[in-house]
Structure 1
């Protein structure tokens, strides 16, 4: 869904360094980072630190559980589009 500008014309790169951290996917034009998380990320303090690191660079982080991506890809796509539009 994120390849070849298929999602609202946005260009995502993966994996991509952003400062000292590597993010799963990033759209520089809309300053959005998308992270795909497994259950090991539940309650992760480190993830919060990563998100704050991205925020200091002006990026908003969108986190999705792997299960949501697999079972509700259309809903995930809609959330990404809305976030890129600033909603």
Structure 2
């Protein structure tokens, strides 16, 4: 797919989100999760990810029944991992029935990307080196 076609397809997907995608977007938009910014229908290489947080290197996919055991999904995940992304997949019914559980798991993954606040600074950070 050419760049212009991919951009148009992403716009189309944003306009025609599924109910589960809309519901998940309601908690991802406007930096509601610890200040992380998510993009929806974001192009990564030849693929369009449902939701992507570039800062955390996290992609979230919301799948329906058509993704059950799909070989193309495995190829896609291998590519995304090579590009430095971690991928979280949720079924539509998980998002619809347990949004709070989905939110908690996403927050756990996001917290994996930030250093623990009690860790000492790296050499030269936060310490007075003059002296």
TM-score, normalization by structure 1: 0.95
CA distance in 1, matches of 2:77, 2:34: 24
Which of 31, 34, 39 is the matching residue for 2:65? 39
CA distance in 1, matches of 2:104, 2:91: 15
Structure showing the higher helix proportion among its residues: 2
Over 2 Å off, 4+ runs: none
Name the Cα RMSD after superposition: 1.1
* Number of aligned residue pairs: 87
Which structure 1 residue ranges, 5 or more long, are not aligned? none
Higher gyration radius (CA) = 2
Where 2:37 maps in the other structure, the secondary structure is coil
Deviations 1:2-21, CA, capped at 9 Å, x for gaps: 11011221110011001111
1:11-26 pair list within 5 angstroms? 11-26=37-52
Deviations 1:35-82, CA, capped at 9 Å, x for gaps: 000011111111111111110010000000000000000000111111
Structure showing the higher strand proportion among its residues: 1
CA distance in 1, matches of 2:89, 2:70: 12
Which structure 2 residue ranges, 5 or more long, are not aligned? 1-26, 114-131
The structure whose RCO (Cα within 8 Å, separation 6+) is larger is 1
The CA deviation at 1:86 is 2.0
TM-score, normalization by structure 2: 0.64
